[in-house]
Structure 1
C-alpha cells in the first residue's frame, strides 16, 4: 500500500463540491457511481464531485464543506472511495494527559516529544493532533485539540478522530475513571480504532509467551511473588537473580542479588538517591529481610544472564518494533546500551551509555550475525505478543540481551517505550522511522475500519491517493 498522499486545498466557493484529479473522476464516470457524501473523522456531510478545474493531481474542497467538516489546515491527505461515500484524512488523535495553561508548552516537559511525533504528518499524509479528556465536547462530537504548526502549538476544533494513538504517561492516569470513559465511549459508541491501549504487566507478558515453543526459548527463568526457596534455588543455579516490580518502568525498583563462587557472602546491587549501591550480607535470609522488608508482592524474580560485555560492563539492546502501513511488524530502531560502572541496569539515567549496534559489535569483536538474530527475535516476540493480547498493538520496545554463547534473551517488553536512545547522533534515521510508523499504522487502521463497515460489505472498494 503506497503512502504517497496528494495535496488537499481549500477552494473559495460555496458549491458543496470536492474537486478530484481527472483519472479519479473518470473512474466515477465509468462505474456510474458518484459519491454523494464526504466524511472527515466522525463528521459526514453531503457533497458533489467534479474534476479538478486545472487538471492538477490534488484535491480541492469548497469552503462551505471545509467549514462544515472542521478541516484544520491544508496539507497532503489520503482518500478512500467506497460505495457512494468519500473518506478523507485520516484524522488521528494522540490521547494523553498532563496538559498545562502555557501555549508554548501545552503538554509540559513532553511538549517537544509530541511536537516531534506530529511533525511527520506532512510526510505521511494525515491530520495529527494531541488531546486530553477535558478537550472533548461529547454533545457536539468535537475536540479542541492541539496541532503543531510552523508557528508553534495551535488549538483547533476538529471532529472526533478516525483513529486514536494511546500515549497516556503512566498507569495511574490510565486507571482514572475519566481516562477509561474516553476510551470506552470512543471505541464502543463511535467504533474508533484505538491502538496501544495499555501498559504491559511484565508477568502477564511472561505468561503469554512461556507456553509458546518458539518464544519461550528467549525467556529467562522467572517466578512471580517468589518464595525464599525459589530465590535460593535460582541463586544457586545462576549465581545472579534480578528482583523487579511487575508493573515497573525506567529500571526503578530493580535489585540484583549476586552469589560469588567460593564466597560465603551474598551481595545486593541497587540504586538509591540517584546513586548505585552495593551491600554485602552474611546470608540470603538477612539480605531479603533488609532489602525487601515488605515482601515480594507484585514482584518478579528473574534469572540473571552472563551478558556480552564492553570494558567488563554488561550490554543489552533496546529494540523498537512498529507495525507499518500494511499492518506488518518491522524493526524501527535498535541500539546497544552499556551499563555504567556499578550500575544494575543499562539506563542512561543510571550512568549507562548508548552506542550503535554495529559500532559496539566491532569494538568487542562480536560476530555481525548477532544483528540478524536480534531483529528476528524482536519480530518473533512482537508477533507472538500481538497474537495473544487483545486490542490493536502498534509498537513495542524490547530490552533484549545476548549471552556469552550468543543466545538471545528477552528481559522486558514495553507498550509505551521511552526514547532516550534517540539522543545518539547516529540514530536520527531510526528516530524518524519510529515516529513515522505509528502514523502509517494509523492510516492502515483508517483504511481497514472503512473497508470492514458491516453495511458496506459487498461494495466495490478503492483506496486512492
Structure 2
C-alpha cells in the first residue's frame, strides 16, 4: 500500500492541486476526487513532499481538515483520502456524547485515522443529505465532537449496534441505496446467526472438526439424548449475543436430577435443580420459544482455579485484504456463571497469564491462531458481502482440542480493558481503517470485484 502524504490547504493558485515530484506519473490527469465527489482542476508538481490544495478547491471538495492522505491514480483522476463513513444508530442531542454510551468507542476508532492516513467520520440515516450528495458527519477533534459536511464516502463501515436496529426497514434502505445507486462498498454488513454459521462450516472439511454437535429447534428427546452422551449441554438463542439467554443443563446420574445454570433477569448467576428435563424446559421457556434456540454439546474445557476458560480471538483484514489475528485473550468465568462474559463476572487474562509454561503457551497460541484463520477464510468464502473483522469464542478442552463456540461479526471490545492488550486494541482499530483503504483502492481500480461480493 502506498504511503500517506501531508494534505495542506494552500493560498497558492486557483482550482489547483499540487502533487510531490515523487508522485510523477505519465497519466494525463485532469480531475481530483475526495470521497465520491470529483471535480475538474489543474494539476501541477510541488517542490515539497506535500499535497497542496488551493483554498477554493479545498473548500469545493468539502475536505474536513488537513492531515495525512493517500493518493490513488486511476485514468484521469487523482483520488485523495480515502473518506471513510462509519454507519450507526442511536444518536443523541448531546454535544459531548452524540452516540450515547458508544461515543467513547467511536472516538477511539476515529482517533487512529491520522496514523493510517485516512479521513473518518460517524453518521446515521438522518445525517444524509440525498439531494446534495453530502453527509453531515461527526468528526472527533482535540476539543471533542464536531459536525462537518462532507461528500458521500468511498467506503462505509457498518457498526449498527444490534439486530433489531439492523432489521429496521429505513436503515436497510439506506444501506441498499448507498451500495447499489452510489456503488459504495459496505463492509461488516450483518450480524451472524449461530445456526447459519454452523450449517456453513460443518460442510467445510478444513474446519468442521472445530464444531460441537449442534441442533436447531431441539426436542426434549434430542436434549435428553445429548445429555446421556455429554452429561451437560448448552441452550443458546440462535440470534443471541453477549451471553444473554444462555442456559447450561447438567444431568446428575447419581441423583437422577437436572441442574440448570443461567443468568436471571436481575443479572444474577443462578443454579436451579429440577426433577425432570420436562419441568426444567417448561420453566425456562415459559415466556420464550425453544424453536428460536440451538442445543450444543457440553465440552470439558481446561480450567483455572476450578473455573472454565475460553478464548476470544479477533481476526481482521489488513491493508492487503488478508486475514490476520489481531488479539488473543483468555476469559475466565465468574463464580457460578454459565458464560465467561465480563458482565457475568468473567475476568480477562492474557494467554501467558493462563499458561505460565512457555512451551504450553506457544502451543496454545499456535493452535488458536490456526483455528481462527481457517475459520475466518471459511466464513468469508460463504458469507455475501465484505467482512473486515470477526471475533471468535474458542475453547481448548482437556485433550488440547480446539472448539468453536461462536463467531461474531461485530465483536465487542471488553477484552481490551486488560492493560497488557492496549497495543492490540490500537492495532485492531487501525486494521479496520486499513481494510477500508484496501476496499477503496479495489473499488476505484477493480469495481466489479467488490460490487459482486
Q: TM-score surpassing 0.5? A: yes
Q: Which of residues 381, 398, 403 in structure 2 aligns to 1:404?
A: 398
Q: Which of residues 62, 72, 77 in structure 2 aligns to 1:85?
A: 77
Q: CA deviation at 1:289?
A: 1.6
Tell me which residue corresponds to 1:457. none
Change in CA separation of 1:349 and 1:363 when aligned onto 2, cut-off 3 Å: farther
Q: Which of residues 181, 203, 220 in structure 2 aligns to 1:228?
A: 220
Q: Which of residues 79, 95, 109 in structure 2 aligns to 1:103?
A: 95
Change in CA separation of 1:326 and 1:365 when aligned onto 2, cut-off 3 Å: closer
1:298-323 deviation digits (Å, cap 9, x = unpaired)? 10000111000000100000111100
Tell me which residue corresponds to 2:193. 201
State yes or no: 1:210 paired with 2:202: yes
State yes or no: 1:375 paired with 2:374: no
Change in CA separation of 1:393 and 1:453 when aligned onto 2, cut-off 3 Å: closer
CA distance in 1, matches of 2:252, 2:206: 32
CA distance in 1, matches of 2:395, 2:243: 15
Q: Which of residues 272, 281, 291 in structure 2 aligns to 1:288?
A: 281
Q: What TM-score, normalized to structure 2?
A: 0.96
1:333-352 to 2 correspondences below 5 Å:
333-352=327-346
Do the aligned residues in 2 keep the contact of 1:338 with 1:354 (CA within 8 Å)? Answer: yes
**What SS is found at the alignment partner of 1:411?**
strand
Task: Kindly report structure 1 stretches of 4+ aligned residues shifted beyond 4 Å.
Answer: 363-367
Tell me which residue corresponds to 1:219. 211
1:242-391 to 2 correspondences below 5 Å:
242-272=234-264, 273-293=266-286, 294-362=288-356, 366=360, 368-391=362-385
Q: Which of residues 422, 425, 428 in structure 2 aligns to 1:431?
A: 425
**What SS is found at the alignment partner of 1:416?**
coil
Do the aligned residues in 1 keep the contact of 2:352 with 2:358 (CA within 8 Å)? Answer: no
**What SS is found at the alignment partner of 1:434?**
helix
State yes or no: 1:413 paired with 2:407: yes
Q: CA deviation at 1:199?
A: 0.6
1:76-131 deviation digits (Å, cap 9, x = unpaired)? 00011112111111000000001111111111111000000000111000100000
CA distance in 1, matches of 2:254, 2:214: 25
Q: Which of residues 438, 445, 450 in structure 2 aligns to 1:444?
A: 438
Q: CA deviation at 1:421?
A: 0.6
CA distance in 2, matches of 1:20, 1:37: 13
1:336-395 deviation digits (Å, cap 9, x = unpaired)? 000011110001110111000111111899453011000110000000000000000000
Tell me which residue corresponds to 2:64. 72
Task: Give ranges in structure 1 of 5+ residues lacking alignment.
Answer: 455-465
**What SS is found at the alignment partner of 1:431?**
helix
1:95-174 to 2 correspondences below 5 Å:
95-174=87-166
Q: CA deviation at 1:262?
A: 2.7
**What SS is found at the alignment partner of 2:4?**
coil
Do the aligned residues in 2 keep the contact of 1:310 with 1:364 (CA within 8 Å)? Answer: no
Tell me which residue corresponds to 1:460. none
Q: What TM-score, normalized to structure 1?
A: 0.94
Q: CA deviation at 1:178?
A: 1.4
Tell me which residue corresponds to 2:18. 19
Q: CA deviation at 1:334?
A: 1.1
The higher relative CO (CA closer than 8 Å, separation ≥ 6) is in 1
Do the aligned residues in 2 keep the contact of 1:13 with 1:64 (CA within 8 Å)? Answer: no
CA distance in 2, matches of 1:365, 1:376: 17
Do the aligned residues in 2 keep the contact of 1:337 with 1:352 (CA within 8 Å)? Answer: yes
**What SS is found at the alignment partner of 1:297?**
helix
Do the aligned residues in 1 keep the contact of 2:6 with 2:69 (CA within 8 Å)? Answer: yes
Q: How many residues align?
A: 446
CA distance in 2, matches of 1:263, 1:364: 42
Q: Which of residues 371, 381, 388 in structure 2 aligns to 1:394?
A: 388
CA distance in 2, matches of 1:262, 1:140: 72
CA distance in 2, matches of 1:128, 1:37: 23
State yes or no: 1:422 paired with 2:424: no
Tell me which residue corresponds to 1:241. 233
Change in CA separation of 1:441 and 1:21 when aligned onto 2, cut-off 3 Å: same
CA distance in 2, matches of 1:9, 1:167: 30
Q: CA deviation at 1:291?
A: 1.6
Q: CA deviation at 1:12?
A: 1.4
1:46-74 deviation digits (Å, cap 9, x = unpaired)? 0111111xx21110001111111100000
CA distance in 2, matches of 1:232, 1:24: 69
State yes or no: 1:51 paired with 2:45: yes
CA distance in 2, matches of 1:177, 1:233: 41
CA distance in 2, matches of 1:362, 1:300: 36
CA RMSD of aligned residues (A): 1.3
Q: CA deviation at 1:214?
A: 1.4
Q: CA deviation at 1:13?
A: 4.0
CA distance in 1, matches of 2:334, 2:358: 17
